[in-house]
Amino acid sequence: MKESCGLIGIYNNKEAARLAYFGLYALQHRGQEGAGIATWDGKKIREHRGMGLVAEVFNERHLSIELKGDIAIGHVRYSTTGASLLRNVQPFITYFKGLHLAVGHNGNLVNTVELRRELESKGALFQTTTDSEIFVHLAAHNLTGHTIEEALSIACSKVKGAYSLLALVNDKLIAIRDPYGFRPLVIGRLGTSYVISSETCALDLLEAEYIREVEPGEMIVIDKGNLRSYFLENRQEKRRCCIFELIYFARPDSTVFGKNIYITRKAMGMALAEEAPVDADFCMPFPDSGVYAAVGYVQRSGIPFETAMIRNHYVGRTFIQPSQDMRDFGVRMKLNPVKDMIKDKRIVIIEDSIVRGTTIRSRIKKLRELGARELHLRVSCPPIKFPCFYGIDFSSKGELIAANHTVKDIERFIGLDSLYYLSLDGLIKACGGEDNFCLACFNGDYPVVPSKEYGKLFFDIFVG
């Protein structure tokens, strides 16, 4: 399960690139494949992009010498399973009729194929497979007779899907959130500087003060020291914020869609304890996924909290293959159970979600081998039955175990004594009870219907 991307924008700061760097650092959980920063140096756009973690992509020289300027935008990108491409690492940069543009994007459009075909028929050439490039082409094709703000607004009226977007256009910083507000985007202030970020955890690291969200369907333009707000014509009455940001993606110390993640996840755990109590010796999370729901579960149920699966903190990326005898090796690399705590115990385990169910199955098997007496799994969201078209990579529906199997089947497949998923109602209540979430992955109710040709994507066009 992978989040699309993370965004950071800095306006009016002598160390804009450096702040963008640390902002991306705080947003690293939103994408580990690649990172890029673009700055406006007063005359032109400077950029550095690379594959890998933020700390690997940039060095001191990039930040202090090359990325000059008072305005910066930065982007972290998620890791695909297939071929990864430096070419696709954002921000996307271009120069067009006197405008220098850098654009970064979080989310996923659902009418990409049609838009590309139409743009190509007008002579547009594409160099990447990113949605950012589509925005830029659409804006460019509408610049004649329009300001860049208008052109971007027209572009937004043509694209369908999820997008939080940051653009650097000469000395302007522009932030846009799609009409439904699928993906988060927040505004902060740091002295006389502005900071735009996917999550508030980046504001915290930079010691910026949280002001408010960029609203769904809102375009923020910051220039000449001022922040102006516009609304897109196709702004929707109801938000459709991705509830998975609350369940899984956003950092627990962030506030997203106006909700504190930590407290929200605790509430999900409490709801689970109410809906599906169980008599057990203790309750533990699978680190790091279920920790906060587990904290809520134990507070409501009174069962003792333990953290008897130990995470190896130094596990970085090793490229060494295990030997052939090492079965289930990947599972052991990340988490090791405390044997003496497992034997003969009745255990409630809290997880935030199940996608394919294979990793959790290996872990349960390991706990059985160590002598666990009873193993009860509680999941802090309903079964994921439908694919996401707005930026969460559950992969194809075929791989979603709950799409084709009953809860009983899954319980048996994983090898549990009992399995319970939080009800949709319980989840919504834990999230505040309002009707403003996209719940499509649970109920198939898609706020924006993907075009017929969705999925005929160009992801394999270039391999480098």
CB half-sphere exposure, 293, CA atoms < 13 A: 32
Site string for its own copies, 97-116 (x = CB under 8 A): x--x----------------
Q: Provide the Cα torsion 251, 253, 256, 261; round to 10°.
A: 90
Minimal distance, residue 123 CB to its own copies, in Å:
4
- Pair of tokens at residue 420: 């319970």
Taking the C-alpha atoms of residue 238 and residue 135, their distance in angstroms, rounded to an integer, is: 24
Nearest to 178 by CA among 258, 119, 239, 228: 239
What's the DSSP call for residue 322? P
Contact between 28 and 53 (Cβ < 8 Å): yes
In the bound state with its own copies, the residue whose beta carbon lies nearer, of 229 and 312, is 312
Closest separation between CB of residue 403 and its own copies, Å? 29
Q: Is 457 in the site for its own copies (CB under 8 A)?
A: no
Q: Tell me which residues in 124-143 interact with its own copies (CB under 8 A).
A: 124-127, 136-137, 140-141
Residues 155-214 that bind its own copies (CB under 8 A): 191, 201, 204-207
Structural contact between residues 35 and 105, judged by C-beta atoms closer than 8 angstroms: no
Q: Nearer to its own copies by C-beta: 144 or 226? A: 144
Residues of this chain, 294-353, that bind its own copies according to CB under 8 A:
295, 298-299, 304-308, 310, 312-323, 325-327, 332-333, 336-341
Which tokens sit at 112?
């990409």
Judge contact between 12 and 194, C-beta under 8 A: yes
Decide whether 264 or 438 has the Cβ nearer to its own copies. 264
Contacting its own copies within 409-448 (CB under 8 A): none
CA distance 316 to 337: 19
Taking CB under 8 A as the binding criterion, the range among 91-99, 355-363, 415-423, 425-433 that sits at the site for its own copies is 91-99
Closer to its own copies at the Cβ: 237 or 320?
Answer: 320
- Binding status of residue 363 toward its own copies by CB under 8 A: no
Q: Are 248 and 391 in contact (CB under 8 A)?
A: no
439 touches 243 (CB < 8 A) = yes
Q: What are residue 413's phi and psi, to 5 degrees?
A: -60, -45
Residue 46 binds to its own copies (criterion: CB under 8 A): yes
Among residues 42, 79, 80, 120, the one that binds its own copies under rule CB under 8 A: 120
CB of 110 to its own copies, least distance (A): 20
How many residues in the shown chain lie near its own copies by CB under 8 A?
Answer: 100
| CB closer to its own copies out of 12 and 255 | 255
* C-beta of residue 362 within 8 angstroms of C-beta of residue 387: no
Is 456 among the residues that bind its own copies (CB under 8 A)? no
DSSP 8-state class, residue 422: P
Read off the DSSP letter of residue 284: E
- Which token pair is 422? 């939080």
Phi, psi of 153 (to 5 degrees): -65, -45
Under rule CB under 8 A, which residues in 48-67 are in contact with its own copies? Answer: 48-49, 53-55, 58-60, 63, 66
The answer to whether 258 contacts its own copies (rule: CB under 8 A) is no
At closest approach, how far in Å is the CB of 132 from its own copies? Answer: 12
Tokens found for residue 232 = 């897109």
The verdict on 272 binding its own copies (CB under 8 A) reads: no
CB 363 within 8 A of CB 416: no
**Which residue lies nearer to its own copies by CB, 319 or 435?**
319
240 or 266, CB closer to its own copies? 266
Q: Which of the following is catalytic: 5, 381, 388, 431?
A: 5
Q: Is 242 a catalytic residue?
A: no
The residues that are catalytic are 5
